[in-house]
Structure 1
Amino acid sequence: MIDPIDRALLQLLQEDGRMTVSELSKRLSLSRPSISERLLRLQENGIITGFGARVSPAAIGRNIQVIIQMSELKVFPTEFEKRIMNDDEIMECHRVTGTVSYILKASVTGMDALSELVERLMPFGNVNTSVILSSPVMNRSILPKA
């Protein structure tokens, strides 16, 4: 069960995943061993699934972000998913319900790269792309309901 301290711990880590156990200990007024035990338990229970850095696509030359909807698949989902796993321009892939089978998020260097990506996807089904103009909500912290 997640208590208020675990909620606060999750909030702090989502704000700054590099926060040290010492800093977490100070911010939450708990001992370092207590923080370490809580972190381990949250990981073992699958609540914390990993730690990583957020990279700005634009800062590394991937200036265009797109949402791609795939519908009317011409192949089995497993074959499509296997293909997506090997494409480094695809940042996310979600199998969804409704008339669309998959929603993908991709990051490309320019319009030529987007055109090439769409051409690679066309054999798998209908491709509908939307260029992301802005993202008013990104990487929002997720916490269990109190």
Structure 2
Amino acid sequence: MSRHSEVNVKNNRRISGVALDAADHQILTALAGNARISMADLGRLIGMSAQSAADRARRLEDLGVISGYTVKLDHVALGLALGAYIRVRPAMGELPRVAALLADIPEIVECDRVTGDDCFIAKVFVARIEDLERVIDRLLPYAQTNTSIIQSSPVWRRTPRLG
């Protein structure tokens, strides 16, 4: 059964009702597991030719369902042994400045604007506690922060359930 969704295409128009069938779901699952899979292997995996698999993947890219391909990096192997989440509550009138500042801090690997008492939750990886303190200190003139150190990650980032 296909699932209808709203997707962003390259020109930022929204298209509603894009039908994703079982083969699309298989392609997305396979690419999420290994973005470097060859089109020949992808085709074999889902029971179609390499050309058909490539055409389908390109269609999913054109529709904006696939927005890019990435690599997973091991932060510990890179010498960034300390991970933390920083909840950020901008001072009155400072939300745009804080958003820009969060985007400008290279140690922040991702950040979401959220509902609730805080406006942002930022994920940061650094080598030492002193480096984390410097990140927090950059935010303090414009926001309150609350930081939680990551002890372990029982669930790594994964693809949302498809279908």
Report TM bin, short chain.
over 0.9
2:149 to 121, 128, 131: 131
> What is the CA distance between 1:76 and its match in structure 2?
3.2
> What is the CA distance between 1:45 and its match in structure 2?
1.2
Greater RCO structure (CA 8 Å; 6+ sep): 1
The percent identity for this pair of structures is: 28
More helix per residue: 1 or 2? 1
Partner residue in 2 for 1:116: 134
SS at match of 1:59: coil
Deviation beyond 3 Å, 4+ runs, structure 1:
none
Partner residue in 2 for 1:48: 66
SS at match of 1:57: coil
Provide the aligned length of Structure 1 versus Structure 2.
145
Gaps of 5+ in 2: 1-18
Partner residue in 1 for 2:47: 29
> What is the CA distance between 1:86 and its match in structure 2?
1.6
Alignment of 1:60 with 2:60, yes or no, is no
> What is the CA distance between 1:81 and its match in structure 2?
1.6
> What is the CA distance between 1:144 and its match in structure 2?
2.8
Partner residue in 2 for 1:80: 98
Partner residue in 2 for 1:140: 158
Partner residue in 1 for 2:34: 16
The answer to whether the 8 A contact 1:67-1:129 is kept is: yes
More strand per residue: 1 or 2? 2
AA partner of residue 21 (structure 1): M
How far apart are the structure 2 equivalents of 1:61 and 1:79?
30
How far apart are the structure 2 equivalents of 1:105 and 1:72?
17
SS at match of 2:55: helix
Deviates most, 69-78 or 58-67: 69-78
The answer to whether the 8 A contact 1:73-1:101 is kept is: no
SS at match of 2:96: helix
Q: CA RMSD in A?
A: 1.2
Could you tell me the TM-score, scaled by structure 1's length?
0.94
